Amino acid sequence: MQLRRVVAFLLVLLTSIASTDLFAQNQRSPLNPTNWGVVYDVPATKQVKLKAGVPYLRDAQGTLTLDLYLPPKLQSGEQRPAVVFLNAIGDPPNDKLKHWEIYRTWPRLVAAHDWVGISMETDGSRIQESLAAVFRFLKQHGGEHGIDGNRIGVYAASANVTNATQYLMSDSAAAGIRAAVLYYGRAPEGKLREDLPVLYIVAEGDAPGNGPPHLLSLWQRVIAARAPWTLAYASGLPHAFDAFSDNDQARRVIQQALSFWKTHLEPVPQPSWTPSPARQIVEANYWGRPQTSADLLAQWIAEHPDDAEAH
Q: What are the tens digits of pLDDT across the range 213-245?
A: 888 899 999 999 999 999 999 999 999 999 999
Integer-rounded Cα radius of gyration of the chain: 26
pLDDT of residue 311: 78
What one-character DSSP code corresponds to residue 186?
P
Determine the 3-state secondary structure of 116 from DSSP: strand
pLDDT of residue 208: 85
pLDDT of residue 310: 77
Query: In this structure, how many other beta carbons lie within 10 angstroms of the beta carbon of residue 121?
Result: 23
Mean pLDDT of 76-84: 98
The pLDDT of residue 10 is above 60: no
pLDDT of residue 9: 41
Task: Pick the range with the lowest mean pLDDT from 39-48, 64-73, 110-119, 215-224.
Answer: 215-224
Directed axis angle between helix 160-168 and helix 127-141, to 10°? 60
Reported as a single tens digit per residue, the pLDDT across 249-299 is 999 999 999 999 999 999 999 999 999 999 999 999 999 999 999 999 999
Beta carbons within 8 Å of 89's beta carbon, 6+ residues apart: 97, 122, 124, 127, 159, 160, 163
pLDDT of residue 12: 42
70-to-40, 80, 192, 272 alpha-carbon distances in Å: 18, 9, 32, 34
Mean pLDDT of 143-170: 98
CA dist., res. 65 & res. 56, Å (int) = 5
Task: Pick the range with the lowest mean pLDDT from 10-19, 49-58, 79-88, 217-226.
Answer: 10-19
Give the residue ranges of DSSP H helices in 61-190. 102-112, 127-141, 160-168
Mean pLDDT of 68-96: 96
Confidence band of 26 (pLDDT split at 50, 70, 90) = low
**153: Cα separation from own chain's centroid:** 6
The pLDDT of residue 205 is above 90: yes
Fold of 37-265: Rossmann fold (3.40.50)
Q: pLDDT above 90 covers what percent of the chain?
A: 82
The pLDDT of residue 20 is above 70: no
193-to-26, 87, 129, 159, 270 alpha-carbon distances in Å: 44, 21, 20, 21, 26
pLDDT of residue 55: 99
Mean pLDDT computed over every residue of the chain: 91
Kindly report the CA angle at 107 between 193 and 118, in degrees rounded to 5? 65
The pLDDT of residue 16 is above 60: no
Q: In what order do the strands lie in the sheet with 177-183?
A: 49-59, 62-70, 116-120, 80-85, 147-157, 177-183, 198-203, 229-234
Confidence band of 28 (pLDDT split at 50, 70, 90) = confident
Reported as a single tens digit per residue, the pLDDT across 109-151 is 999 999 999 999 999 999 999 999 999 999 999 999 999 999 9
CA dist., res. 160 & res. 168, Å (int) = 12
> Which has more pLDDT, 18 or 180?
180
The pLDDT of residue 181 is above 90: yes
SS3 content of the chain, % helix, strand, coil (to 5): 45, 20, 35
The pLDDT of residue 154 is above 50: yes
Q: Is the overall model pTM greater than 0.75, yes or no?
A: yes
β-bridge pairing 198-203 and 229-234: parallel
The residue extents of the domains of the chain are 37-265, 277-310
